[in-house]
Amino acid sequence: MELEKRILRLIENDAQLNPKTIATMLGEDEQKVVAIIKRLEREKYILGYNTIINWERLGDDGVTAMIDVKVTPEREVGFNNVAERICRFPEVSCVYLMSGTYDLSVIVSGDNMKDISWFVSHKLSTLDHVQSTTTHFILKRYKQENFVFEEPEQDKRLVVSP
């Protein structure tokens, strides 16, 4: 598992690293690295690859909200049934079970605020076992998945030094 973890740590923040580079950096055979990544994908240790995009810079004014959801847990399955139902909505990008004053944290995106309020009032709060919701709109993104949105880090070193 050690090698698998080392491969995963390398591609965690750079999904585009190619297998040849990874193999060289780890002193391993390229075919072996390809096979491991394929297997990790097949066995769903790697769930997929995303791209972090600064949509706002492209003038796109989509809206994202984080919604706190209080849920009445069900016998035997606890929060799982409700959480899984919420996951099925394509506009939902994240669902987490939380400790503290509410139970589920749901992240939803839409074209505008109306989309989101419609989703909350018609879809989310009407689900069985959902007691209440609190919606927080995201106003500005500073950092996401390790990437800083404004002023990306630059190399500040002198170009040549002893």
Residues that bind another protein (CB under 8 A): 10, 14, 17, 21, 24-27, 153, 155, 157-162
State the nearest-atom distance from the C-beta of 66 to another protein, in Å: 25
Contact (Cβ atoms closer than 8 angstroms) between residue 143 and residue 119: no
State the nearest-atom distance from the C-beta of 48 to another protein, in Å: 22
Nearer to another protein by Cβ, of 61 and 151: the residue is 151
Q: What angle do CA 143, 148, 154 make, to 5 degrees?
A: 165
Q: State residue 16 phi and psi, 5-degree precision.
A: -90, -5
State the nearest-atom distance from the C-beta of 15 to another protein, in Å: 13
Nearer to another protein by Cβ, of 10 and 40: the residue is 10
Nearer to another protein by Cβ, of 61 and 155: the residue is 155
* Tokens read off for 127: 């689900």
C-alpha–C-alpha distance, residues 96 and 99, integer Å? 10
Q: At a CB cut-off of 8 Å and minimum separation 6, what does 161 contact?
A: none
Nearer to another protein by Cβ, of 27 and 48: the residue is 27
State the nearest-atom distance from the C-beta of 113 to another protein, in Å: 35
Contact (Cβ atoms closer than 8 angstroms) between residue 138 and residue 65: yes
